[in-house]
Amino acid sequence: MAAILGGLTSSHIPAVGNAIAKELYEDLYWKPFFSGYPPIREWLGDHKPDVAINIYNDHGLGFFLDKMPTFAIGAAHEYKNEDEGWGIPQLPPFPGDPELSWHIIESMVEQEFDITSCQELAVDHGFVVPMQLFWPGAPNNPDMPRTVPISANTVQHPIPTLKRALDFGKALRRALLSYPDDVKIVVLGTGGLSHQLDGERAGFINKSFDEMCMDKIVTDPEALTKISRMELVEKAGAQGTEFLMWMMMRGALGDQVTPVHSHYHIPISNTGAGTMMLECAA
């Protein structure tokens, strides 16, 4: 039977991919950010998950504003990185797990979530950056897990509510635990935290709101569902809506989790960057 080991969170800022490519780990600007990841890498090295469910948002590569699915799930054998610039070297494809993907898709539809299934899906920094942060050198890492990308709409309003995001995660948990193969799974919730890249509030970061979200997502995620979509934009910025992908991850972990590691740093590329490792209850 499948087992969910835990959940990981990470920002997926495209500038991070550039910093990784240039190996700026000891750079004064980047070092405080990168210092948040070694404890999680150690945990992953000890547990060696077989599959990483990567919940991210596409930034105009696989989908655009004229066609933006609320929830899309990759069902391919591999996922090619075709990011949007920065001069980052081309990466080999990331390995998929189509059998698990189709099991998830079938289960989610059975649970009345409308899913866009993608038999081909190019992935951008939203997917790639967290993989490289948690598995350095990915996809050329000896412990590289198979991947299932799940893309959520955080840009074209109306976006999902935080309650819908948490409910998606709960349904995803049921899908994963019903998978008959003996696989170990981690679930990634990426993006955020507070940031706004344009308009009058460009550069907006809300540290107190970020810290509250990082606390409540462990102890009382249901309380966060009371935050409306407009309130989320107001308190976290236009791009802070990516927090809903953390909620999708959290729902997949069950009621009780143990926080193994937490790290927060601002500013990094005008973003409040949160990193967490949540372990599922035995």
| Rounded distance between C-alpha atoms, residue 41 and residue 206, angstroms | 28
Fold of 3-280: Protocatechuate 4,5-dioxygenase; Chain B (3.40.830)
Q: What pLDDT digit, counting tens, does each position of 236-272 carry?
A: 999 999 999 999 999 999 999 999 999 999 988 889 9
Q: Indicate the pLDDT class of residue 120, thresholds 50, 70 and 90.
A: very high
Q: Indicate the pLDDT class of residue 43, thresholds 50, 70 and 90.
A: very high
Q: pTM for the full model?
A: 0.95
How much is the pLDDT for 90?
83
Q: Parse the chain into domains and list their residue ranges.
A: 3-280
138 three-class SS = coil
26 exposed, middle or buried (CB, 10 Å; 0-12, 13-18, 19+)?
Answer: exposed
Q: Nearest Cα to 14, choosing from 160, 126, 139, 131?
A: 126
Report the catalytic residues. 125, 195
Q: Indicate the pLDDT class of residue 49, thresholds 50, 70 and 90.
A: very high
Q: Indicate the pLDDT class of residue 66, thresholds 50, 70 and 90.
A: confident
| Rounded distance between C-alpha atoms, residue 186 and residue 3, angstroms | 9
| Rounded distance between C-alpha atoms, residue 15 and residue 84, angstroms | 11
Site of tokens 């797990």: 97
How much is the pLDDT for 60?
79
